[in-house]
Amino acid sequence: MTASTRMLKPGDTIGILGGGQLGRMLAMAAARLGLKCQVFSPDPDSPAFDVVQHATCAEFADVEALELFANDVDIITYEFENVPSATALVLAARRPVLPSQKILETTQDRLIEKDFITRLGIGTADYADVSSVETLHAAIARIGLPAVIKTRRFGYDGKGQAMIREGDDIDQVWEDLGTKSAILEAFVPFEREISVIAARSCDGHVECFDVTENEHRDHILKISRAPAAIPAELAAEARSVAEKIAHALNYVGVLGVEMFVVETKNGPTVLVNEIAPRVHNSGHWTLDGASISQFEQHIRAIAGWPLGKPIRHGAVVTMTNLIGDDILSYEEWLTVPGATVHLYGKGPPRPGRKMGHVTEVVPADRK
């Protein structure tokens, strides 16, 4: 155990930055282990506020509120990667922040993240730094089309990115993106998308959940299936990529690594798409489909406790996101045999808003 971490005891308090569904599910997992959570979020309607006794509703730039929050908790973690670095610095001066501030810097910026992955010798889509319309033209000349342009920072659920195809008006694409800080990525003709949810403890032990296969609709995760229908060697490769990333970041907690499966003349391999320094939507199946959930695993890791060995409960586990108006069918889902329904307690269902999810476990004898 390093100086920056200490072993928590039941009854201790974890501070969580961000009050969405991930913070809510983290707090519920912590409660099961006898730990308390205090949630910090600027949004008074935060779903995570509903499940904790103590909450701070303040802006992330409110230094006084941050200091009071830090005084009330034993360690601090977060449910989203866009924690401003100034916020993390104020907090880290008072309490351990896990995963560490340095990890945020790497994963908040797609260019820094891709450079980091590349330095580890791990494959990604071909990419280029783009900071002007001239550099965009040059990047297209090198990488070719189709390609995907993405803002370096603050993109999620497909926001802040656009596909560029042959014949598109490049100057217009650049203007529409509205930033001076982007990357161009070659479009990857992937065979499927997978993710690895990995946990690393403060003594450097890594546990990965079964590789998950992910189906997106309108750039938003719709369905995850575990285990991914891929050969065992490819699953092992995917897990070892996630493990390498976790070690290189000296990571403590749960991270999600999104990958593309691509065919090569030597068989299938993986390219890393992005790293999420937090629990991840594609790991929600672990709540009902495994002996330890990703949320519990994260809490164990940051608490300085041993990680669990996750054992999947069924032959196949699927997780379906209830997005926007999908939530209106929750009563139907409640009657589906074997389904477990999770509702996040959010306000009105807006298009693209993640409102809940459903897990279905197929027992081994009904594979």
Ligand X SMILES: Nc1ncnc2c1ncn2[C@@H]1O[C@H](COP(=O)(O)OP(=O)(O)O)[C@@H](O)[C@H]1O
Interstrand relation of 316-323 and 147-151 (parallel, antiparallel or unpaired): unpaired
Q: How many CA atoms lie within 13 A of 65 on its CB side?
A: 15
In angstroms, give the least distance from the CB of 322 to Mg ion.
19
- Are 362 and 316 contacting, i.e. CB atoms less than 8 angstroms apart? yes
217 near ligand X, rule: CB under 6 A: no
User: Using the rule CB under 6 A, is 327 a contact of ligand X?
Assistant: no
Q: Does 158 bind ligand X (CB under 6 A)?
A: yes
Give how far the C-alpha of residue 146 lies from the chain's centroid of Cα atoms, to the nearest Å.
26
Total site size for ligand X, rule CB under 6 A:
15
| Residues between 245 and 284 with contacts to Mg ion, criterion CB under 5 A | 258
User: If you ran DSSP here, which 8-state letter would residue 312 be given?
Assistant: B
Cβ proximity to ligand X, 66 vs 183, nearer residue? 183
Does residue 143 bind ligand X (CB under 6 A)?
Answer: no
The smaller minimum CB distance to ligand X, of residues 158 and 345, is found at: 158
Should residue 274 be labelled a site residue for ligand X when binding is judged by CB under 6 A? yes
CA distances from 79 to 121, 208, 309, 320 (A): 28, 19, 23, 20
Work out how close the CB of 294 gets to ligand X at its nearest, in angstroms, rounded to a whole number: 17
Say how far apart CA 163 and CA 148 lie, in whole Å: 4
Find the binder of ligand X among 155, 227, 345, 349 (CB under 6 A).
Answer: 155
- CB burial of residue 244 (10 Å; 0-12, 13-18, 19+): middle
CB of 133 to Mg ion, least distance (A): 26
Binding to ligand X, residues 170-189 (CB under 6 A)? 185, 187-188
Q: Does 216 bind ligand X (CB under 6 A)?
A: yes
**Per-residue DSSP letters for 51-69?**
G-SEEE---TT-HHHHHHH
Nearer to Mg ion, 67 or 157 (CB): 157
Of 10-18, 39-47, 80-88, 152-160, which segment contacts ligand X by CB under 6 A?
Answer: 152-160
- Which pair of tokens denotes residue 300? 């164990």
Nearer to ligand X, 18 or 304 (CB): 18
Is the separation of the CB atoms in 37 and 53 below 8 Å?
no
Site for ligand X contains 109 (CB under 6 A): no
Q: Which is nearer to Mg ion, 109 or 258 (CB)?
A: 258
What DSSP letter does each residue of 95-157 carry, written as one string? S-BSS-HHHHHHHS-HHHHHHHHHHTT-----EEEE-SHHHHHHHHHHH-SSEEEEESSS--T
Alpha carbons 79 and 66: distance in angstroms, whole number: 16
Out of 258, 288, 296, 326, the residue judged to bind ligand X by CB under 6 A: 258
Structure tokens at 296: 């519990």
Answer with the entry of Mg ion, ligand X, none that 207 interacts with (C-beta below 5 to 8 A by kind): none
Q: Say which amino acid occupies 358.
A: V
**Residue closer to ligand X (CB basis): 13 or 107:** 107
The minimum distance between CB 357 and ligand X, in angstroms, equals 17
216 binds, options Mg ion, ligand X, none, Cβ within 5 to 8 A by partner type: ligand X
With CB under 5 A, what is the number of residues at the site for Mg ion? 1
- In angstroms, give the least distance from the CB of 361 to Mg ion: 25
Joined together, the tokens standing for residue 283 give: 């790991």
Q: Which residue has the tokens 């889902």?
A: 333
Sole binder of ligand X in the list 75, 97, 130, 148 (CB under 6 A): 148
Residues that bind ligand X in the complex, under the rule CB under 6 A: 125, 148, 155-158, 185, 187-188, 193, 216, 219, 258, 273-274
In the complex, the residues that contact Mg ion under the rule CB under 5 A are: 258
